[in-house]
Structure 1
Amino acid sequence: MLSILPIVVFAAAMIFAGIRDLTTMTIPNWLTLGLALTFFAVAPIVGMPLAEVGLHASAGFALLLIGMALFAMGWIGGGDAKFVAAASLWIGWGEALPYLLVASIFGGALTMLVLFYRNMPLPAFLFRVNWIARLHDRKEGVPYGLALAAAGLIVFPDTDVFRMVISLG
């Protein structure tokens, strides 16, 4: 049972981050940092060679740089930039492109849904629910962390980390 703990940790982090971004428009730094540090704790336990750990670290760093540039342009939030980097540590270069493609598709669909939702009248009683009212506010962004998290859950079973964890079981 302990052998699947890394999978549970990754999945729980993705789910929590997605829900948290949807309801608060933030992804906590402690979650992103915890996800990143947990990767570095899990990698040697599952037998990942040091060179491969370095490749995963380079994927995380590259996505952090790209995320920071997108944040600087105002295209994504700072939490999203850090979150995609931490998730990319686990996903690695091997599945980075599929991850970003799925996240982009989900992000586009989410954006369209949010824009549609914002054009619909909101019943008065729902304005008292903070996150629903915030999501309806045209001045607010889109909780893109939800798309990043969903994409992570979909792509993760194809990653080296996942296969290494399963091979231990």
Structure 2
Amino acid sequence: MAIACLFWLVLVAVYDCRKRRVPNWLVLAGALTALAALVLGAQPFGTDWRAALLGMLAGFLLIAFYATGLMGAGDVKFAGALGLWVGLSALIPIWIGASLLASAHSVLWLALKRWPFFPRLALMLAGPSRTPESGVPTRRIRIIPYAAYLALTAAAWMVWGRQS
């Protein structure tokens, strides 16, 4: 099941980097797989039901960041599903690591926007361009692929952070 989780994390990271969104079907697939692992007793990270549910609830607490416009809804839902996999005790350092990566992303993007020495890198960091359709109001463009950073940090935790 650890391979299934890692595959899911890679899919989320790639999708979020390319589209700057995480689709509901992808979040649901990860959450259902995590629940199946818990039910079957095949949870690869030693997370029990209590820790998994607390991790999911903690992930959904990020809704405060969505309410203030700092995160997308997909990022919050992904954090909740990720909490089912890793539990509360691992979700907190994963969240901190992802926040540091997202901060570095935004600082680099702002610097490149201000001093355009590498315009292609600035465009890549900004994500895909969205052209508004006539008569349809544009949504706020998300620069930071936060779910991707959560997924990458979780994958790094899976590989290196759990080794004691």
TM-score (norm 2): 0.75
Task: Give the one of 39, 45, 65 matched to 2:34.
Answer: 39
SS at match of 1:134: coil
Matched, 1:147 2:154: no
Instruction: Tell me what 2:107 maps to.
Output: 112
The alignment status of 1:21 with 2:2, answered yes or no, reads: no
CA RMSD, Structure 1 to Structure 2 (Å):
2.9
| Aligned twin of 1:166 | none
Is the counterpart of residue 11 in structure 1 residue 12 in structure 2? no
Q: What is the aligned partner in structure 2 of residue 156 from structure 1? A: 158
Aligned to 1:52: 48
Task: Please give the alpha-carbon distance, in whole angstroms, between the structure 2 residues aligned to 1:87 and 1:145.
Answer: 10
Tell me what 1:91 maps to. 86
Count how many residue pairs are aligned between Structure 1 and Structure 2.
145
Closer, same or farther: CA 132–26 of 1 in aligned 2, 3 Å: closer
Runs of at least 5 residues in structure 1 that lack an aligned partner in the other structure:
1-5, 163-169
Select which of 74, 95, 101 maps to 1:100: 95
Structure 2 runs not aligned, ≥5 long: 131-139
Contact 1:55/1:93, CA 8 A, preserved across alignment: yes
Q: Runs ≥4 in structure 1, deviation > 3 angstroms?
A: 116-119
Q: CA shift at 1:93, angstroms?
A: 1.8
Residue 65 of structure 2 is aligned to residue 70 of structure 1: yes
Structure ranking higher on relative contact order (CA contacts 8 Å, 6+ apart):
1
TM-score by length of 1: 0.73
2:136 paired residue number: none
Q: Is the 8 A contact 1:68 1:78 kept in 2?
A: yes
SS at 2:70 equivalent: coil
